[in-house]
Amino acid sequence: MKVISVKFKESGRVYYFDPGTMEIHRGDYVIVETARGTECGEVVRGVHEVSSNGFNKELKPVIRMADGVDVRRMHQNRADERNAYRVCEQRIAAHGLEMKLVEAEYTLDRSKLIFYFTADNRVDFRELVKDLASHFHTRIELRQIGVRDESKTKGGLGMCGQPFCCSRFLKNFQPVSIKMAKEQGLSLNPTKISGACGRLMCCLGYEQKSYEYLNSITPPVGSTVRTPDGEGVVQEVNVISGMLKVRSTVESLAPKYYKREECVYLRGGRRGRKSGEGSKEAAPKENGKETAKEASREGGKAPARDSDAKGGKPRETAAEAGKPGPRAGQQPRSAAPEAPLPAAPDTEPGEE
C-alpha cells in the first residue's frame, strides 16, 4: 500500500498517512487529522510502498496540502507556545505543585493547548487547569511523561560529546538492563553508565548481541584451557580483540597472551548457559518416575510408584506399616489444609 511519512516535531516520531491520489514530495507540509486534532506536519518521505500486514487499522488520509496560511499559523503557534510555557510555570509556582514543566503545544486550530510535565508522584492539578483555562480561553490538557521523554524533547549532549540518540534518530525506547553492562565488561558505577535522564544509557543495547556471541565462544576468567604450551588458567579476557591471558599450570612459566583460536576450553569458569538449556533440568519428572539410567547413575533404586498399577491403592512403606492406628474414640489426625497465598497487591504499571 502507498503511504507517506510525516512528523510533527523536530525530534518526534514518524507517522504514516494515506496520500490518496495526491502528489506529495519530501519537504511538503500537509494537513492531517490525528488523535490530538487537526495538525500540520512535514513530509519526511514521499509516496512509497509498504507492506499492509503491520497495520492493525486503516490509515487516516491526508486532508489537503498545507498552504502559506497554514504554515504561518503553525510558526505563530510555536511562538505562542513559548509564552504559554512561561505563564504555566508561574501558575505552577503559585499553586505550589511539585511538578516540572517540559513543553507546551498548541494544535493547529488552537482548539487545545497541551502541557507536558514530569513528576515523581501523583499531582492534583485540577485547580491549575481551571486557572490556565481562564487565562488562555481554550481547552487545557496536562500530560505526564517520563524522564526519558523529557530528554528526548529538550535534547542535549551526552557524555560521548554527541547529541542525544533519542533526539536524533531513536524512535522508540528499547529496554536496557544492568546485565548488559556486566556482559560488556563496563564499570557498574551509575554515573558512568547512566545518561542525562538518570536512566541507563540506550547505547548499551546497540552491541549487546555481538557481546553475547563473543562471550559464548570465549573461555571465561578462571576456566582451564589447553594452549600450545600446555594447560593453563585464564586470568584476563578481552572479548573484542580475542586475546586471553593464561597462567600455565607449570609454576616456572610466566603468564602469556594467546589468541582465542589457540585455546581450547576444558573446564571451570562461569560459561553463559544457552537459551533453553536448563529448562530440561528444571522440568518436573513425569509422574515422579526416574529412568533406570538415572537411578543407576545415582547409585540407588528407582522410587516406588504412588499407587499400584491395577488396584490403584497406595502402597504402604515399612515405616507406615509399623505405626499404630488411632485409638478407639479418637479421631485420626489429619494434615492442616494449606492456607491460600495472599493475592498480589495491585500496582500501577511502571513508566518503562
32-48 tens-digit pLDDT: 888 877 888 889 888 88
Are residues 81 and 139 part of one domain? yes
Lowest mean pLDDT among 157-166, 240-249, 279-288: 279-288
Is 168 in contact with 151 (CB distance < 8 Å)? no
User: In this model, does residue 232 exceed pLDDT 50?
Assistant: yes
Looking at the domain assignment, is residue 235 inside a domain?
A: yes
> Are 10 and 61 in the same domain?
yes
Average model confidence (pLDDT) across the chain: 77
Last residue of a domain, one of 145, 164, 195: 145
Residue 135 in this model has a pLDDT that exceeds 80: yes
Q: What is the pLDDT of residue 308?
A: 41
Q: pLDDT tens digit string along 114-131? A: 999 999 888 889 999 999
Q: What pLDDT, on a 0 to 100 scale, did the predictor assign at position 54?
A: 66
pLDDT at 286: 38
Residue 319 has pLDDT above 50, yes or no: no
Given this model, what pLDDT does residue 316 score? 43
CATH label of the domain that carries residue 118: 3.30.300
Q: Does pLDDT of 89 surpass 80?
A: yes
CB 86 within 8 A of CB 46: no
Whether residues 184 and 204 share a domain: the answer is: yes
Considering only residues 172 and 274, tell me which one the structure prediction assigns the higher pLDDT: 172
Domain CATH for 250: 2.30.30
Q: Does the structure show a pLDDT above 60 at 333?
A: no
How many independent structural domains does the chain possess?
A: 4
Cβ atoms of 204 and 176 closer than 8 Å: yes
Q: Tell me if 127 is assigned to some domain.
A: yes
Tell me, yes or no, whether 278 lies in a domain. Answer: no
Q: Domain limits at 189?
A: 152-208
- 24 part of a folded domain: yes
In a domain, 225, yes or no: yes
Least confident window among 145-149, 207-211, 279-283: 279-283
139 & 159 share domain: no
The set of cell numbers assigned to 62 is: 491526508
pLDDT higher than 80, residue 210: yes
Q: What mean pLDDT comes out for the span 130-155?
A: 89
| C-alpha separations of 18 from 29, 63, 154, 211 in Å | 14, 10, 30, 41
Q: Would residue 292 count as lying in a domain? A: no
User: Which pLDDT belongs to residue 229?
Assistant: 86
Long-range Cβ contact pairs of 16-25 (< 8 A, separation 24 or more)? 16/50, 16/55, 16/59, 17/59, 17/60, 17/61, 17/62, 18/58, 18/59, 18/60, 18/61, 18/62, 19/47, 19/61, 19/62, 20/61, 20/62, 22/62, 22/65, 23/47, 24/62, 24/65
Alpha helices in the chain (DSSP H): 68-95, 126-136, 147-154, 165-168, 178-183, 190-193, 208-217, 279-282, 292-298, 318-321
Average confidence (pLDDT) over 40-67: 83
Task: Look at 3-12, 138-147, 181-190, 285-294 and tell me which has the smallest mean pLDDT.
Answer: 285-294
The model's pLDDT over 90-115, given as tens digits with 9 standing for 90+, comes to 999 999 999 999 999 898 888 899 99
Q: For residue 307, is pLDDT > 80?
A: no
Task: Render 239-256 in DSSP notation, one character per residue.
Answer: TTTTEEEEEESSTTSPPE
CA distance 67 to 111: 20
pLDDT at 190 over 80: yes
Reply yes or no on whether the pLDDT at 344 is more than 70: no
Residue 160 lies in a domain: yes
In a domain, 113, yes or no: yes
Render the burial of 151-167: b for 16+ CB within 10 Å, e for the rest: bbbeeeebeeeeebbbb
Residues 84 and 131 occupy one common structural domain: yes
Q: Which of 66, 86, 121 is the endpoint of a domain?
A: 66
H helix count then E strand count, the chain: 10, 13
Q: Are 43 and 8 in contact (CB under 8 A)?
A: no
- Per-residue pLDDT reduced to its tens digit, 11-33: 677 888 888 888 888 888 999 88
